[in-house]
Structure 1
Amino acid sequence: MDSTDLLMQIFQYVLGVVPGDVAGNIISIATVIVTICTLIIRFWKEPQKENKLHKLWQIFHLLASFKKSDKVVKEKDNVDKVG
């Protein structure tokens, strides 16, 4: 099973259990967080890996796209192939 399918199933279950007005508020807050993180990632160039702000940038990228940045994934794949 794909992790996104599991995440969607959990999300649908939680929304079914939670009252409608609370579920609407949760969705609104999640939408605002994703939108703000997307704007930050759009205009903030990725810092160098040695920079302390790189970890913060990765968190924003994760919240904006729900996946690790492509560079991080590629480097991890390369390490797995070499090691």
Structure 2
Amino acid sequence: MNTDLLLQGFQYVLGVIPGDIAGNIVAVVTAIVTLCTLMMRFWKEPEMTSKWHSLWQVIHVLASFKKPDEIKENKDGQKDR
């Protein structure tokens, strides 16, 4: 349900913004997500104590739209901590 509300809000905002500007916004967001996804493909998760870990988490959220804890699940469907 939460994603439906987000999608409706996104569609409303894109309807209000002129088409050429909305197209540019979509292109920039697509490029950012693609770049973050490519970075996640080759960048292993740093140690929790590393200063780079917070940057890694931000890039991870932008690439997958999920928190890193939600991705790590074992075969039983329980989250690894």
3-state DSSP class of the match of 1:52?
coil
Q: Which runs of 5+ in 2 are unaligned?
A: 73-78
CA-based RMSD: 1.4
For 2:55 and 2:30, how far apart are their aligned partners in 1?
20
User: What corresponds to 1:6 in structure 2?
Assistant: 5
Q: TM-score, with normalisation over the residues of structure 2?
A: 0.82
Does 2:44 align with 1:45? Answer: yes
Identity among equivalent positions (%) equals 63
Higher relative contact order (CA 8 A, sep 6+): 1
Q: Which runs of 5+ in 1 are unaligned?
A: 79-83
For 1:37 and 1:28, how far apart are their aligned partners in 2?
14
Shift of 1:3: 2.3
**Corresponding residue pairs, total:** 73
Q: How does 1:1-83 map to 2 (within 5 A)?
A: 2-69=1-68, 70-71=71-72, 74=79
Kindly report structure 1 stretches of 4+ aligned residues shifted beyond 3 Å: none
